[in-house]
Structure 1
Amino acid sequence: MISTMQQFSSCILLLLMILTAHNFIPANSENCNPDDKKALLQIKKQFGNPTQLSSWDPTTDCCNSTWLGVDCDNFTPTYRVTNLEFSDLNLPKPVHFPPSITNLPSLVDLSLTRIPNLVGPIPLSIANLTTLRYITITQTNISGEIPYTLSQIKTLVTIEFNYNKLIGPLLASLSTIPSLVGIGFNGNQLTGTIPESYGSFPPLFTGLLLSRNRLSGKIPASLGKLNLADLDLSRNMLEGDASMFFKSNILTYTISLAMNSFAFDIGKVGLSKDLNKLDIRNNKIYGRLPEGLANLRYLHKLNVSNNNLCGQIPSLRFDESCYAHNKCLCGSPLPACKT
Structure 2
Amino acid sequence: MGSGSSALARLGLPGSRLPAQPRPAWLGVAALGLAALALGAAAWHRRRSRRPRRLQQVGTVSKLWIYPIKSCKGVSVSSAECTAMGLRCGRLRDRFWLVINEEGDMVTARQEPRMVLMSLTCDGDSLTLGAAYTKDLILPIQAPTTNALHMCRVHGLEVQGRDCGDAAAGWITSFLKTKPYRLVSFEPHMQPRRSQDMRAKFQPKDQVAYSDVSPFLVVSEASLADLNSRLEKKVTESNFRANIVISGCGAYAEDSWSQVLIGDVELKRVMACSRCILTTVDPDTGVMDRKEPLDTLTSYRLCDPSEQKLYGSKPLFGQYFVLENPGTIKVGDPVYLLGQ
TM-score by length of structure 2 reads 0.21
Larger RCO: 1 or 2 (CA < 8 Å, sep 6+): 2
TM-score by length of 1: 0.21
Q: Which has the higher strand share?
A: 2
